[in-house]
Structures are given as structure tokens and as C-alpha cells.
Amino acid sequence: MKVLILHKSDSRAYQLSQRFSADLIGKGAIVSILDSNQISDHHIDPISNDLIVVLGGDGTILRTAHHIAGTGIPLLGVNLGKIGFLTSIEPDDWSVALDRLINFQFSLDNHLMIKAELISGDKRVELGTALNDVVIRSKAVRPITIGISIDNQPYSIYRGDGVICATPTGSTAYSYSAGGPVLADNVKALVITPICPLLSCGRALIVDSDSQVTITSHCEFATGITLDGENKRCLTNGDRMLIEKSDKNVSIIKMDRLAWPRKFSPGLY
């Protein structure tokens, strides 16, 4: 087994990467270690890697997911962050998890991704893909007006701070904080959640993952666009953004959290 250990940039994560590497080598694995800040300089392919172990929080996993999307390389997240929705284990669970990895006692969840394209006049710009969400948000302290169409059929106009289009994975993140529903990972759907809508009728909408979502700006000032928290371009008056399912996905290892005591209360999971 060829394993890449990817750790966030701090001393604890580095020390854990050394310990995990020794344990894996003891089981016969071939191990390489990489700082997460260096991932953009490396090509990660399924020939050189059978498994990626990520030591970090959800942010580190999101950055890693963008680099391995579509490769089929499974990812195991070890939580060194605050919440760790995308991680499977805590550092103290490593010995149990290692035995399960070696004996293939785990399941793989294929997490769908979405892609976004900006249409401004006669120009079309690919913005990239997102595992969690695409967010359009006001860059000023005033509401914006956003039109929503589903498969070229007008649905509604939201007026408020912005709008989120989230995957099932991202439904537990910003969308949930904005009042959106939580979707199970195996639900083939997207959720569109308005951010602080001015009218009570501005509710979240769940659509089929094969749908094409069109977001149109009706604002006289620019609004910001982020994909998984990364700033992209701005949406100006009359611009449209097309959001649809990507042909790439990310495989994340899932282990039964009930097999060991947790340090957090069950209400957080």
C-alpha cells in the first residue's frame, strides 16, 4: 500500500505525521509525507498513491479534495481542527483506525462536487469546482437582489445578503448556519439557501443534483463569489452564474464513530 500523509503546517500535525508514518511502515506500507502548503506544487495521481491520510481540519481536507478530485484516491481525515465534519477519526483513534485500514474494514463515500461558470456579456469563464458550496454574497453593508432559475425556468428572486448553493457535504457548513436543511451524503441533491432574506418567503430550496442552477445579479454594485471559501471573481449587474454537478467526485473513508468513545458530545455530530 502506498500512502501519502498530508499534514497542516504546525508542530503537532508534523509530529503525528511521523508517528503515523512509522506505524504504517511497520505494517508494510510505503509512506511519503507532505506539508499541506506544498500540495499545489505536487501532482497527486492514483499510480503513486493508494490512500491519502490528511491531518488537519475541514479546510485542509477541502484544499486536498480539489487536488484529488476525479482520481479515485480515497481520503482519510484525522481531525486536528475545531469541528471536523469531513474527518472520520480523532488522533487518539489512530490505532483502531490503522487496524481497520489494513483489514479494509471501512466504507467509502463518494462525495459529489459542483462546478461554476460565470457568463458576463459574451464572455464565459470557468470558475472551478467546489466540494462544499458556491456562495454569492454582498460585499457592501446593504442587501442584494439575486434571481434564481432551475433548468432555465425562473424560480424566485431573493433579496438579502446573498445566496448559497451547497452539496450534501456542504449542507452541514455555511448553508446550515444560514438556516438550510442538512442532506444525507447519499442524497443526490443540491440545496439553495438565501442568506438573511428580507422576506419570510425566502426559504431554502432542494433540487435534483442533475439540475442546472442559474444565478443572475440584479445589483448595481458588485457581489463576491467564493467556491469553498476561496474568493473568485465578482458578479456585476446582469451577469449570470451557472452551477451544475461536476463529473468529478471525492472518495472519503468513513468509519463508525460509535466504535470508540468520543471527546465531544453526540449533539455535535
Catalytic positions: 58
Whether 9 and 36 have beta carbons less than 8 Å apart is answered as yes
Phi, psi of 66 (to 5 degrees): -65, -30
Q: Check if the beta carbon of residue 13 is closer than 8 Å to that of residue 59.
A: no
- Residue 221: C-alpha distances to residues 120, 144, 145, 234 (Å): 14, 9, 10, 10
How far apart CA 205 and CA 199 sit, in angstroms, is: 15
The Cα–Cα gap between 110 and 106 comes to 13
For residue 7, give the H/E element and its range.
Answer: strand 2-7
Residue spans of alpha helices (H) in 119-173: none
Which residue, chain included where needed, has cell 448553508?
A: 175
- Signed CA dihedral, 183, 242, 140, 234: sign only: positive
Q: How does strand 107-120 pair with strand 51-56? A: unpaired
Q: Which secondary-structure segment (H or E) carries 49?
A: none
> All 3 cell numbers of residue 36?
499541506
Distances (CA, A) of 167 to 70, 132, 159, 189, 241: 16, 6, 22, 7, 16
